[in-house]
């Protein structure tokens, strides 16, 4: 084993430096460049070996064995700069708040749909879904009693199933973000929390996910295949409340984006407080001649109020309304500015599951279309960070339905 390990380290160093090693072995792990392309050292950032931990092919179990480092995440696209004359890709992000694998098996359903439809997504995990109810006293929510929560604690079988889905989702290339913990809204909720209170909420969420093995006693389960302290780079606040105080907490934690902003126009994103702001968006709502927010809860509120099980005779119409709103939002930018489409949902069964069906239909309808990329929020951030800021400024000047002068976007 030791010999293998040593070889792995040499290979990793050769890759990192991109040149001949001191013994004159071939570059890049023995692969001699066969193409006439310029040396990768000219256009690809070469991490300094001393500054970057090298992957030696060994699984590194972290902490109590709840998480592990298994190498860079599989199935990730390489962000590419737009070329002259090129039209921007149409990004579509499907995102899921909570991410519990419950009795409805919605996490596994959409994870499989993602694989089948070429869609990678963002799962905003509620950290509490990795904490058993018997250990609820470990949770100290801001402005609430110890162990309190606005969502139900998961059952032990659901915690196990959720851990399994998280593991598979990450291996499929999906992103695991955070929906924080107790889902407190309105009075004493996230909208009233200070930055320090948000920091505490975030730290606790990370702690639950990185210590589930100790807290649950599920010693026979494999570790999550990622280092959550590094993979976690974005979140969505429950009820989309409290972004102002939350942003500095996220920035301090090294986040790259926040997806908590409600109801903004469907335009190319900007940064807020130094991180990308990926809002839910106002989409055309054809059936009501108005605009509606790109989230299941807002369709529910507009259709059956706060009744989660409205009149079943209306389900077909409501489902069609939701689907058509998402598709209208898609078509507007797909044939227009190409601004990313951001969609948020919970795993729920409201009004007979019509909002889940609407999302499934939209995913099947759009993700394989020409130029469309159904991706995670982090992958959108990667792409934006790879672009010329001047190009992004031009894109931001476009109205949602207004195509750019694509032949002259990048010169
Ligand atoms: Zn939520």
Q: Ligand 1 mean position to 261 CA, how many Å?
A: 13
What span, in angstroms and rounded, lies between the C-alpha atoms of 127 and 303?
30
Q: Distance from the CA of 28 to the center of ligand 1, in angstroms?
A: 45
The number of residues making up the chain comes to: 411
The reported pLDDT for the residue numbered 15 is: 29
Q: Which long-range contacts (CB under 8 A, 24 or more apart) does 188-193 make?
A: 188/143, 188/144, 189/150, 189/238, 189/239, 189/241, 189/242, 190/237, 190/238, 190/239, 190/241, 190/242, 190/246, 191/239, 191/241, 191/242, 192/143, 192/242, 193/142, 193/143, 193/242, 193/245, 193/246
Centre of ligand 1 to C-alpha 179, Å, is: 7
- Cα–Cα distances in Å, from 117 out to 176, 358, 368? 19, 15, 7
In angstroms, what is the span from residue 134 Cα to ligand 1's centroid? 23
Write the CB contacts of 370 (distance below 8 Å, at least 6 apart in sequence): none
Ligand 1 centroid from CA 364, angstroms: 24
Extents of the domains making up the chain: 2-58, 67-409
Element housing 6 (H / E):
helix 2-17
- How far is ligand 1, taken at its centre, from the CA of residue 372, in Å? 27
CA–centroid distance, 393 to ligand 1, in Å, is 32
Residue 17 Cα to ligand 1 middle (Å): 44
| CA 182 to ligand 1 centroid distance, Å | 10
* Alpha-carbon span 27 to 187, nearest angstrom: 60
CB 298, CB 292: distance < 8 Å: yes
The pLDDT profile of the chain, 411 residues, written as one tens digit per residue, is 333 333 333 223 222 323 333 333 333 333 333 333 333 333 434 444 444 555 778 899 999 999 999 999 999 999 999 999 999 999 999 999 999 999 999 999 999 999 999 999 999 999 999 999 999 999 999 999 999 999 999 999 999 999 999 999 999 999 999 999 999 999 999 999 999 999 999 999 999 999 999 999 999 999 999 999 999 999 999 999 999 999 999 999 999 999 999 888 999 999 999 999 999 999 998 777 788 899 999 999 999 998 999 999 999 999 999 999 999 999 999 999 999 999 999 999 999 999 999 999 999 999 999 999 999 999 999 999 999 999 999 999 999 999 999 999 998
Distance 298 CA to ligand 1 centre (A): 12
Among 3.40.50.2300, 1.10.8.50, 3.20.20.370, 3.40.50.300, what is the CATH number of 67-409? 3.20.20.370
pLDDT at res. 286: 79
Query: Checking DSSP bridges between strand 67-69 and strand 341-346, what pairing results, if any?
Result: unpaired
d(CA 41, CA 49): 14
C-alpha of residue 353 to centroid of ligand 1, in Å: 17
**What does the pLDDT read at residue 54?**
57
Q: Is 52 helix (H, G, I), strand (E, B) or coil?
A: coil
CA 280 to ligand 1 centroid distance, Å:
13
């Amino acid at each position: 084993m030791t010999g293998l390990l040593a070889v792995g380290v040499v290979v990793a160093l050769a890759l990192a430096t991109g040149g001949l090693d001191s013994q004159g072995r071939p570059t890049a792990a023995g692969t001699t460049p066969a193409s006439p392309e310029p040396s990768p050292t000219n256009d690809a950032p070469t991490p300094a070996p001393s500054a970057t931990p090298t992957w030696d092919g060994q699984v590194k179990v972290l902490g109590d064995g709840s998480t592990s480092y298994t190498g860079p995440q599989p199935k990730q696209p390489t962000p590419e700069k737009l070329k002259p004359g090129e039209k921007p890709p149409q990004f579509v992000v499907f995102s899921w708040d909570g991410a519990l694998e419950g009795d409805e098996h919605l996490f596994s359903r959409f994870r499989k749909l993602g694989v089948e439809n070429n869609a990678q997504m963002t799962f905003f995990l509620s950290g509490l879904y990795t904490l058993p109810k018997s250990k609820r006293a470990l949770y100290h929510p801001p402005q609430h009693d110890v162990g309190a929560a606005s969502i139900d604690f998961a059952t032990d079988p659901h915690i196990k199933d959720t851990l399994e889905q998280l593991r598979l989702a990450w291996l499929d290339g999906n992103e695991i973000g955070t929906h924080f913990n107790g889902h407190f809204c309105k009075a004493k909720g996230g909208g009233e929390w200070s930055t320090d209170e948000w920091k505490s909420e975030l730290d606790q969420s990370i702690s639950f996910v990185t210590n589930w093995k100790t807290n649950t006693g599920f010693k026979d389960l494999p570790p999550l295949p990622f280092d959550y302290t590094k993979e976690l780079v974005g979140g969505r606040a429950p009820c989309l409340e409290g972004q102002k105080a939350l942003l500095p907490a996220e920035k301090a934690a090294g986040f790259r984006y926040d997806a908590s902003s409600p109801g903004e126009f469907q335009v190319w994103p900007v940064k807020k407080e130094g991180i990308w702001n990926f809002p839910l968006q106002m989409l055309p709502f054809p059936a009501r001649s108005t605009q509606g927010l790109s989230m299941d809860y807002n369709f529910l509120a507009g259709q059956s109020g706060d009744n989660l099980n409205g009149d079943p005779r209306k389900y077909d119409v409501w489902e069609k309304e939701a689907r058509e709103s998402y598709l209208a939002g898609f078509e507007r930018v797909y044939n227009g500015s190409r601004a990313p489409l951001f969609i948020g949902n919970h795993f729920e069964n409201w009004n007979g599951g019509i909002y889940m069906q609407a999302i499934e239909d939209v995913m099947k309808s759009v993700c394989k279309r020409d130029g469309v990329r159904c991706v995670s929020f982090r992958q959108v951030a990667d792409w934006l960070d790879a672009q010329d800021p001047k190009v992004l400024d031009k894109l931001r000047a476009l109205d949602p339905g207004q195509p750019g002068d694509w032949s002259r976007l990048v010169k």
